[in-house]
Structure formats: structure tokens, C-alpha cells
Structure 1
């Protein structure tokens, strides 16, 4: 049962939450007022694969604009959803940092992340030294982010079980305003929570037919701050491990427009990040091994590169389509993580050095095509259909070397592993999908019915090389072939001038992942083995959502409720019995069933539309309440966030403005085990200001956690015992300042 505090109740009464939108129209004297009444008029393409205003979308969609990212000093994916209740970014303490998105209680590879329609590589983690995350995008290259909440497999197939986060990068025309043929811009930034420094430069040109752009950036900084106080080396340390971070990105586009209705676009994009960490928390005596770690050093490096060629045709006007777009692409993503341990052991060994290297490499080739056709009559049909073809090769390997400085001997034996090893064979997955969606509009546009269907054929083929075979000599790997059908039915009913109902049903699925199908390792010393499971079924979901929207002259609001039921969740390493050789046998299984339901609210008021005396003042915000149950074990789902809400009150003029933002989270009082840590409720204040001090020159300032509150954010806390002495490791930063300066001409 939720126990709202006085502040929580006040947040609801004030129509909740924060600066969800700050889309200031540059031509208007008061941009904030304009933004308040056009929140649902923002255009999105992710939820329907067609360009539609949010008001015409039958499910919950968040649109984060470039201006909003600038005003709120968004430097990473955690900043991006700071004021989006119901959406969280997960992170880990000590080394690996930000992971991926959690939407309505689902996270990891159950949420699709894409850049310009191209999916970001998978996350994969095994053991303490290996963690490939999905944080591959430089947010300063984006013009918009769209977040679709809930199952979206009817349009995007597998991995959209929990929702979609869609990054949309900038085009040359985003810079070439007012008919100009050239643009050059510089941007500098500072993020106080990790002493991050940013610098970027962008150049763009345009002519009658050709246009192009190049954007480069560099970032560097230190370890993320927390509010721990215990330093030194060893397992009791709560301060962050010292870290040096470095990254860079490149985005280039060349566009050819043979006429006003067509565009050919060549895109080359690259992103690279590195981190060197002195892992002080892993130093000292290790009870499990009997050794003492004198030095633990980590070097982590990840890259993503893609090249794509796209064509958009707006005025095709053919029998099969009025407009179309297609693209072909190749994308390479790689994570390499190196760890060095210098250890002191009991005699006679005395000393050894352990070096481990983890590599996760994913290469994808794909083709996408989308067609749109409008059929007018007594009832209007706006058809969208298309295909997705993608082939992905995934390679994972762990390597290592154990050296003895006193004797000069080296060995790849580091029990329980004899390196190199693969935890699953080289895997090639192919997905071929067709989708169709019909937006049926009738009653003079008052009613919109949106049925849709997608058919996905998924095939996994495994390549057993010598590395995998030597580590798993008796294992027979599995190839699988699955076909999934994902229907949906949505509706939007404008039953009054300012009011509309929206909602519908959606089916979601996730294909059995390659690493679960072909888990592979045998450890005779410790008496266990893992075997393949070719009979894994896809994870599935069935969800319904119903909401009410109001769009008035001075206020807007949206209230929605949802219920999602999930079946056949795949659990890795399930004990299944004892083999003839006496080994404990583990196998991935479809075992879990779950349900998640909740309520979400977004609202805003433009006070200037109520009275000229309040011109420039606005209030906006959001709130999310959810409940999740593991129906297999009859316990709460730990991944479901507590009640969260945000409120922002802003004052804007033509050249300057400010905003006070409030973030609130309830107590994390629903956990699967009552002995687990339950984070306290908290309320945090942030203050923003912006000033356009000259044409093309602006500065943005932000002070976060104004009251220096000590708190634990949901996505930062692992499953930890309530009595743990190191809980302060997972605290969020105290008071800190961020700033950016933009110059353009």
C-alpha cells in the first residue's frame, strides 16, 4: 500500500511534475507559454511509425526535444530521464557505470534502444569482470528523443517487450535556418557530479540540392560522485573508486535532394568511451581465495560505429504508397574490459599477477523499408506497412593469464577457467519481419482506430569453434527457428473539443537470446555443468492501457492506467538435476510469470493564458505509481520503481528564464525479500537558468540537489542486505553545478 507524504499529496494536487517540456518558439515573445499549450502537439514517429502529434497516439509517449536537453543540462542518459517518472536508467557502483533503460519495471535487453531506427547492441554481463552495457550514444548529436512506454512488438518486434527509446540525430537542415547556406557552432559544458568537461564543434552547409554536416565532440572527467564518507582501500570503502574517463564522437551526414520531395542521406557515425579505474574496493584480503589484492586496475573501452544510406520520398503518389522511406546499414559495437590483479598469497606461492580480458563484439547488417498510403472516403484509412531485415553476428570471449613474478612462469589456468573461453558459441541471428498498421479515421476525425500486426521470423545459428569446443567438449549446441505474431489495437476518441480518450491492447514478445539458448561451461572441479536448451519459448506479454487527455487554452493533462501480464520469462542457470557423471546440471528455462500495473499522470498550466499579470509563468510535471508481482514466487518485483513525481515551476522571457524543479520518490517498501535494503523516500530540489546574451550565444546553468540531500535513487541500488555497512556506496551526488555555453554563427 502506498503511503503518500504531505509533499506527495501536494504534488498530486498541484497536477504534478517537472519541466517535461520547454519547447520555446523562437519567434514568440514568451516561448514557455506557447510550449504549455502545445505539449501534445509535438510530432513523434516512433509510436506509430508515422509522423503524428502525441495527441493522436493511442499510447503513452514522451518526447524530449533538443531545447529541453540543453535547458536541463542533459549530458548522459541518466540526465535524459531525470524528470520522467516511470523511466529509469540503471547503473552500477565502482567501475561499469550507466547501463540501460528501465521502463515500467522492465530493463536490459527487454527495452529496445535505437538510433535513427537502428537498434543499439545488446547488453551482456557475466561475473565480476565483464559487463557490456548499452550506453553508446552522444546525446549532443541528437535533435529529439522519443520514449514509448509498454509493449511495442507490433512495430519493432523482439526486445520491445518493455518499450522503445528512440534517439533521432540531427540533420543539416536543423542548423540551416532562415535560408542560410552555412552554419558553424561551438559548445562547451561542465557536469559537476563527475567533473565532466565537454567540447564540441559543428559545421553545416546547404545549397539547392546538396547539404551536409559534421559534428565532433570530446568529453573527459572523473568518477561519479556519491555521498559516501569511508575512504581507503578494501571492502569497507564507500567513496567512489578513482576513475579517469575519456570519450569522443563523430556524426557526419551528406544529403542529396533531387527535388523538394526526395532526400538521399549518407550517415557515418562513431562513438568511443574509455575508463581507467583504480578498483580500491577490491583491494585487501579476499576471504574466498585467501589472497590479498595489492593492486586492482581496470581499463574499459567501448566503441560503436555505423554507416547507413537512406532514401525518403514524400510525394511518391503511387498506387502502393503515397510516401516511403528505406535505409540500409552496417553497425559495429565492441566492448573490451581488462583487469589486472597483483596479489600476495600464502607460501610457497607468495605472489601472482592475474590479468583478465573480456570482449563482446556485435556486428549487424540491416535493411528497413516503410510505406504509407492514405485512402479517402466515408472512412479514411492511413496505412503504414513495411519490412525489417537484420543479421547480427555476436562474439564473446574471456581470456586471461596468471603470472608468478618470483619464477617467471605464466599459465592460462585460472580456476575454474582455462583461458581462453567463450560462454556461448559464435552466434548468428537473422530476423525477417513484416508489419502493417491501419489508422482508421471516421466521425469527422473524432475517432481514430489503429489495428496493427507484425510477423517476425527469428533464426539462430551457432558456430562452434575450437575455443568453445575445448571448454565444452560434450555439449551439443542448439539452433532455433521461431515465428512470432504480434497484434495490437489502439484507439483515440476526441469526444469533446478539449477532451479525448486513448488506449488499447498490445502483445509483446522477446525471442530466446543466443546466450541463454547455448549457455556453455563445465566445471568438474566444482561439480557443475550448463547445457543448451533448444526448447526455450519466447517471452511474451499482453498489455492494456486506457487514458484521458485534456488540451485547453491554459492547461493540458494526461492520466492513464495500464496492466501488463508477462509469461515465460527466461531464467538463466536453473538447476535441473544430476548428470550420469555426478555433475549438477543447469539450464536456462521458461519459468517466470509476472504482472505490472500502474497509473501515470502528466500535466501543465500556462498561467499567462489565465491572466496577463502572470505572463511567462508556467507549471508542469509528471507522476508515476506502479506495482509489480512475480506470480511464480508470489513476491514483489524488485525492478519496479516506487512512486515518483516531479514538479517544475518556470518563468520565461524572450532572452532569459529560470525554473525550480522538484523530484520526489516514495519509499522502496516492496521488495522480494524483507531483509533487502529499502531506500527511504526523498525530495530533491534543482534550479535552472538560461540566458541568450547575444545573437547565437547562450548560457545554461543548473544547480542540482540544492539542499545537499542524501538519498538513494532506484536505478543505482542493487539487491543489497538492509544491514550492509556499505550502503552509502549507492547514494546519489550531493549539491553540484553544471553549465554549458553555446556559440553559433
Structure 2
């Protein structure tokens, strides 16, 4: 796709919004209420950040089934994926992802991601999107309110409540939904029941999903490393959300929440069959059996209308959350041994478990000092987490029947870091200061976090690391923020500010531990690791009128002391081992411009009732300040544009997705001969069209349908393409699905 196509798309959207006056009436998009940005209920137009909100109705219209669907039309937010086995694995905001982005459900952080080697990858994709009523995303450093891991931003999932289904006078609700997605032959079914009375209300939502591998546009099938089609998969998942609410008065609510989610995926890795040049073996079978689960129980209390000098409202919650990832792998191999061969079965098991306990409390107080109004928010957050990781395995010689736990370079079982207990304790305070008759809002905030890491040595870790001295870690970090919103004219405002982010040194980097005498290397702890930090500046302009809305912002963020895991740092002449250690070495800079806007044509002319236009765009640049190289995690220019028509009983939307060429990549390493390395593949720009429609053909009954990639184009989505040589014969592995469809039917009564 030529840049001119993107320029035309942006010009259409910008021109549609910039020339409009502000008719009387309420804005229709930036009026949405968000909580994540300031921990207070505020319309988007009143917060000093770039915030995205995707509500339940929008998720249903877009037939959202996973996080890739969720952020399909949110430029600047990327969902990563890997070919072969593990699928969706990352949410990146403005080029920063992994555990550097806080992902939370009802304020509670989802478990960490951790990966090592080719057979182990625990991701953070633990939330069933059907249980959600809203998703909020705050872009940029947000540690002043959410502490460690909010280095790049926050993705906040908010689950459904009984009140979302029960209107005034309603005592019961029941709804069901079924759906199909052709991209992975996926089937979905779910049901929700809610009840309510004068004091008590409750909700139960259950769902089941199943499917196969998500197709791509690869054409090479068969077995071996030349395969570009997706590997065969079979997946299933289920979830339950239960809530019980007791309201002794209009001002108080006690809530008990129970949530569970689990997924199973079986993969036949045909692409890993055949001769393996690194090992000299021939794989005759490679299978993966992966399971992940998360369970949470929360008890919370909300109080409004307090007559106290300290607070007008208070909420608190206590919780426990357990997660487990288990991944089993089986390789059947033929290994040459002189003139003979050895038939070899290798079984591997990977476990990554986390258990968290915590308490959160928040208070808000509104008061005035002269002509200045204040909304004070403050609170505390204490969480203790136990993290366990283990790899186990066995090698079975099929001809002799001998079984051994030696599978070089490992002697199983092993832990790549010790059992780790982490404690995070923090307090924060924020004041929203409003003056000049409400035209100016100043938002200073600060949070103090104390992080403590306590490793536990067990026999598994000690046998593999007999001389490793583990390190405790205790660190305190202060994260300030200063934001502002200036409404300088009717419907126009300027917003922005400064924010600092940080990420405490992870347990797996502080106390990484493994020694391999055969290959002559060891990894040692680093008790001197510093927190990763970021300093971000943002400035934006908003227009929020009855006929149109628009936001244009620019940001600049510097990231310091990024941690590089297992960096070679020296040599032990006594044991003759090369020494590796995690260290703070990398600094990065990411800057960019983002736009979001739309037009409601019925406010311009009655004859255009029902028509609307929406668009968004993001252009970012990132570089490693240590090497001067471009950051591959930063996407090229991305934009979306949608034209919709809405009536009482039906509607449709034609939506375009536009991506520029991915031409800002780091320099490849030189070849062994010293000649320049083969350049990395620059995924070409593209334009895709999707068509959505919905029809309410009976009271409480709605049919949603979507056709994606209408022109059946072969494209590479930048966020899914690794750093691969442009001469690679398997680039088609990373292509998106061709034309595919999805439908859903929901019935509520």
C-alpha cells in the first residue's frame, strides 16, 4: 500500500471533524465514563491521558472472540502471536509489551508471562472476553496510580455486574449466545442469568468455546521446516463468572466475586518434523499438550455518601488469585549413532504457577478552597505473590527400554529460578484541582511502592546450582505524575502532562540460575539490578461536540535501565565456565502521534440520520539509545476508517484497516564470513476491508455477522512477524487469514 492511501484516509477523517462547529447537545463518544485513568469516574474529555474504551455493545458488534479481535481497530495497540504452537501472547502499547504493561481484571493484575526455550511459554491471555462489560486502556506510563509493570500503560478488564442486566423493577434476566468463526472453525456458546431484589442481587455467566488452528495464507503443507500452513490444533476452553451483591442501603454494596477460566490446546507440530540440523536427529513426531487456568475470589465493599472529613466514598477489596500453566511436549526422534540409529522418545513438562493474595483500598474526598475545587483520591495496595517454575522430562530409548532424566544440557527436574515470594506494598495520592470556573483541571499524583523479593531454595534448584548464592531484594520507588486539561473554548480542550513509570527487577532476572559443565557456562544472580524506568511527556488536543469528536496527541517517552537477561559478563578460570548474568544496559526512546475521531451525520442533516464515520491512526518511531538501532517492537504507520449506518432494528459498518510498510528494523548481525547479514523482511503495507452487520429481528434477539478481509488479500500483520531474513522461504507462516466470516446469535429475556 502506498503512503498516499493512508494520507487520503487520514485527511478524510481529519477534514470531517475539524471544520465542524459545536452544536448544542451532548458529545457521544468522549462522554464515556472511565475509571482507570484517574481512579475516579470521569468522562474521557476530562482526563489528561489518551484513553481507549471498548464497551460490551462494541465488542458484540465487532464479534470479538480474543484479544486480537478486541484491538483490531485500535492503532498503537498491538497483539503479538507466534507461529507453531503458543498463539496469542502479548499486548503492546506504543511499542512496549510483555510484563511491562499492566493487565488487570477488576483492578487485580493478571499473572505474569514467562518463556524459556522452544517448549515453554506461559502467556497472560487468561481472560474470557465474554465475561466483560468494558475494556479501558491508558496509554503511556501509569505507575503513579498502578505501580510496577505499568511502565508502558494499563489494560483494564471490567467484568459484568447484575445491575448491567436488571433495569428498574426487573427481578430476573436470562440470556444466551452462540457463535461461529470460520478462521479457526471456532464454536462458542454462553449463558448468563441474573436476579435482583430489594437487598440481594446476583449473576452467573458460563461459556464454552472450541476450535482448531487459526488459518493463515500459507500454501506449503506437509511435514518439515518448509511448511508454511498453520500446524493442526484442537482447542477448548470454558469459563464461569459468579457475583453475589448485598446492598443494605442505597449507599452500601458488599460483593462476592468468583471467577474461573481455563483453556486446553493440543498441537501436532508438523513444521518440526524431519531432519533437524542443530541436533542431527530426525523427528518423526512432535506433539504439544498445553493447559492454562486462572481462578479468583474477591470480596469487596463500596460505601458512598459518607459525612466524613476524610472521605466521601470508600471502596476496598481482598482477593486471592491462582494461575497455572502446564505444557507437555513429546518428541519421537531417530538419532544416528555410528552405523546404527537410536529410536528416542523425549518427554518434557513445563510448569509455571502463581498464587497471589492482596488487599486494595481507595478513598475519594471532594472539597473546596476558595474558588478552587478539589477531588482527592488516595489509597493503598498490598499484594504477596508466590511464583513457582519447573521443567521436568525424561528420555526413553525405545529399543532398550532404558529411561533417564538426562536430556542434555539438562538433568531434570530443574528450576530456572528459585521459588520466589514477592511483596508489593504501595500508597498513592492524587488531587484533581479545578479552577477558572471549571475551565482548567490540574492533576498531580504520586505513588510510593515498596518491592521485596525473597527467594526460597529447594532441592531441585540446589542440585542444579550447587554453589549459587541467591539474593534478596528490597527496593522503594517513587512515581510522580502531573497532568492537566484546559477547556479553552466551547467543546475544545488541551490536555497532557508528565508521567513516570517503573518496573521492579523481576524475580527470574535477579536470581536466574543454571550451570552446564558440559557446555561450559553458568548463569548467576544479580542483586544489584535496578528498576526499569520511563519518563513520558504527552500533549493533546480534543474536540468534543454533538456532531463530531476528535483527539490528536503527540508523545515522547524515554525508557532507562532495561534489563537484558543472561548477558555474557565474564569467565571463571577456576571452574572454566563462561559467566552470564542479567544486567541493566538498554535505554530506548519511543515517540509518536495518535489520532482518533468521528462524525455523527444526523447532527448535520436529518436526511443523514443513522450515518456515522469513525477513524483512528498511530505513527510511532522507536530506537535503542544504546546502539542507535530501530526498535522492531514499534509498528509502522497504522490507521482505521469505518463508515456505519444504524437503524432501530439493524445496522451495518464497512471498516478499513491500513498499515504502512514495516521498514524501520534493526541492522541484522553480520554473516560468519564478516560480510553484512541478510536484511530482515520488511512486511509490505496493506489495506483490508471488513464488513459488519447486525439485525434485531425479534425483541431481545440479535444476529451479528462479519466478513473479514473482503478482498481475500495476502497480508503480513506487522505485530505477528518476527525478525526473519527477507530470503526466508517460510515467510508465509506469518500471514493473516484470508477471507473469513463470523456470526453470533444472542437471545435475552
Give the TM-score taking structure 1 as reference length.
0.97
Preserved CA contact (<8 Å) 1:217 1:249 = yes
Which deviates further from its counterpart, 715-724 or 363-372? 715-724
Which residue of structure 1 lines up, in the alignment, with residue 672 of structure 2?
none
- Shift of the alpha carbon at 1:319? 1.5
Query: Do 1:16 and 1:647's aligned partners in 2 also have CA atoms closer than 8 Å?
Result: no
- Structure 1 segment 540-689 matched on structure 2, within 5 A: 540-580=533-573, 581-673=575-667, 675-689=679-693
- 1:453-475 Cα offsets, whole Å, 9 max, x none, are 00000000000100000001111
Q: Secondary structure at the match of 1:326?
A: strand
Alignment of 1:198-209 (within 5 A): 198-209=188-199
Query: Residue 453 of structure 2 is aligned with which of 449, 452, 460?
Result: 460
Q: Is the 8 A contact 1:36 1:556 kept in 2?
A: no
2:157, 2:537 → 1: CA distance?
Answer: 26
Q: Contact 1:113 / 1:164 at 8 angstroms: preserved in 2?
A: yes
Does structure 1 conserve the Cα–Cα contact (< 8 Å) formed by 2:486 and 2:493?
A: yes
Whole-Å Cα distance in 1 between the matches of residues 566 and 393 of structure 2? 24
Matches within 5 A, 1:37-52: 37-52=27-42
CA contact (8 A) 1:574 1:587 kept: yes
Alignment of 1:355 with 2:359, yes or no, is no
CA shift for structure 1 position 17: 12
Give 1:289 deviation, angstroms: 1.3
**Aligned match of 1:743:** 747
Cα deviations by residue, 1:648-700 (Å, 9 ceiling, x for unpaired): 00000111100000000000000012511111000000000001111110000
The answer to whether the 8 A contact 1:374-1:383 is kept is: yes
SS in 2 for 1:445: coil
User: What do the CA deviations read for 1:135-173 (whole angstroms, capped 9, x no partner)?
Assistant: 000001100000000000000000000000000000011
Q: Find out whether 1:701 has 2:695 as its counterpart.
A: no
SS at match of 2:163: helix
Equivalent position to 1:97, from 87, 91, 113: 87
- Single out whichever of 576-585 and 624-633 deviates more from structure 2: 576-585
Task: Specify whether residues 732 and 16 from structure 1 end up closer, same or farther in structure 2 by C-alpha distance, changes over 3 A only.
Answer: farther
Asked if 2 retains the 8 angstrom alpha-carbon contact of 1:255 and 1:264, the reply is yes
For 2:443 and 2:415, the matched residues in 1 are separated by 45
Give 3-state SS (helix, strand or coil) of 1:429's partner. strand
Distance 1:332 1:112 in 2: 17
Distance in 2 separating the partners of 1:263 and 1:90: 39
Task: Output aligned runs, 1:72-87, within 5 Å.
Answer: 72-87=62-77
Identify if the C-alpha distance between structure 1 residues 16 and 303 changes in structure 2 by more than 3 Å, giving closer, same or farther: farther
Q: Which residue pairs with 2:389 in the alignment?
A: 396
Q: 1:312 is matched with which residue? A: 302
Check if 1:128 corresponds to 2:118: yes
- If the length of structure 2 is used for normalisation, what is the TM-score? 0.96
| Alignment check: 8 A CA contact 2:199 2:247 kept | yes
Candidates 692, 699, 722, aligned match of 2:696? 692
Number of paired residues? 729
For 1:10 and 1:432, how far apart are their aligned partners in 2? 50
Counterparts in 2 of 1:326-341, with a 5 A limit? 326-341=316-331
Where does residue 675 of structure 2 map in the other structure?
none
Verify the 8 A CA contact 1:16 1:602 in the aligned structure 2. Answer: no
Matched, 1:733 2:725: no
Structure 1: which 5+ runs fail to align? 19-32
Measure how far apart 1:179 and its partner are. Answer: 2.1
- What SS is found at the alignment partner of 2:57? helix
1:232 alignment partner, one of 183, 204, 222: 222
Is 1:70 the counterpart of 2:60? The answer is yes
In 1: Cα distance, 2:718 partner to 2:445 partner:
35
- Indicate how the Cα distance of structure 1 residues 293 and 281 shifts in structure 2: closer, same or farther if over 3 A, else same: same
Say whether residues 1:524 and 2:517 are aligned partners.
yes
Greater CA drift, 552-561 or 447-456 = 552-561
Residue 168 of structure 1: aligned partner: 158
Q: CA deviation at 1:281?
A: 0.7
Corresponding position: 1:513 with 2:506: yes
Question: Cα distance, 1:719 vs. partner?
Answer: 1.4
Shift of 1:36: 9.6
Counterparts of 1:34 and 1:742, CA distance in 2: 36
Is the counterpart of residue 718 in structure 1 residue 716 in structure 2? Answer: no
CA contact (8 A) 2:25 2:545 kept: no
Q: Contact 1:455–1:484 (CA<8 Å) still a contact in 2?
A: yes
Alignment check: 8 A CA contact 2:716 2:734 kept = yes
The answer to whether structure 1 residue 376 and structure 2 residue 368 are counterparts is yes
Distance 1:245 1:35 in 2: 48
Cα drift, residue 553 of structure 1: 2.5
What secondary structure sits across from 1:289 in the alignment? Answer: coil
CA displacement at 1:743 relative to structure 2: 0.3
C-alpha contact (below 8 Å) 1:17/1:662 kept by paired residues: no
- Report the counterpart of residue 673 of structure 2 in structure 1: none
Moved over 3 A (4+): 33-37
Does residue 53 of the first structure (1) align with residue 43 of the second (2)? yes
Q: Deviations over 1:165-186 (max 9, x none)?
A: 0000000110112421000111
Question: What does residue range 149-548 of structure 1 map to in structure 2 within 5 Å?
Answer: 149-347=139-337, 348-377=340-369, 378-548=371-541
Alpha-carbon displacement from aligned partner over 1:694-725 (angstroms, at most 9, x marks no partner): 11100000000000011111221111111110
8 Å CA contact 1:16–1:623 kept in 2: the answer is: no
Q: CA deviation at 1:4?
A: 5.9
Is the contact between residue 36 and residue 555 of structure 1 (CA under 8 Å) also seen in structure 2? no
Question: Are the aligned partners of 1:342 and 1:353 in contact in 2 as well (CA < 8 Å)?
Answer: yes
C-alpha separation in 2, matches of 1:6 and 1:462: 55
Give the match's secondary structure for 2:666.
coil
Whole-angstrom CA distance in 1 between matches of 2:291 and 2:306: 45
Kept in 2: contact 1:37–1:606 (CA 8 A) = no
**Post-superposition offset of 1:35:** 12
User: How far did 1:477 drift?
Assistant: 0.9
| Cα displacement (A) at 1:427 | 0.3
Could you tell me which runs of 5 or more consecutive residues in structure 2 were left unpaired when the two chains were aligned: 17-22, 669-678
C-alpha separation in 2, matches of 1:165 and 1:225: 27
CA, structure 1 residues 630+17, in 2 after alignment: closer, same or farther (shift >3 Å)?
farther
* Residue 415 (structure 1) shift: 0.1
Per-residue CA deviation, residues 324-356 of structure 1 (Å, 9 max, x unaligned), is 110000000110000001111224452010000
Question: What is the distance in 2 between the residues matched to 1:317 and 1:169?
Answer: 30
Q: What is the alpha-carbon root mean square deviation over aligned residues?
A: 1.4
**Cα distance, 1:229 vs structure 2:** 0.3
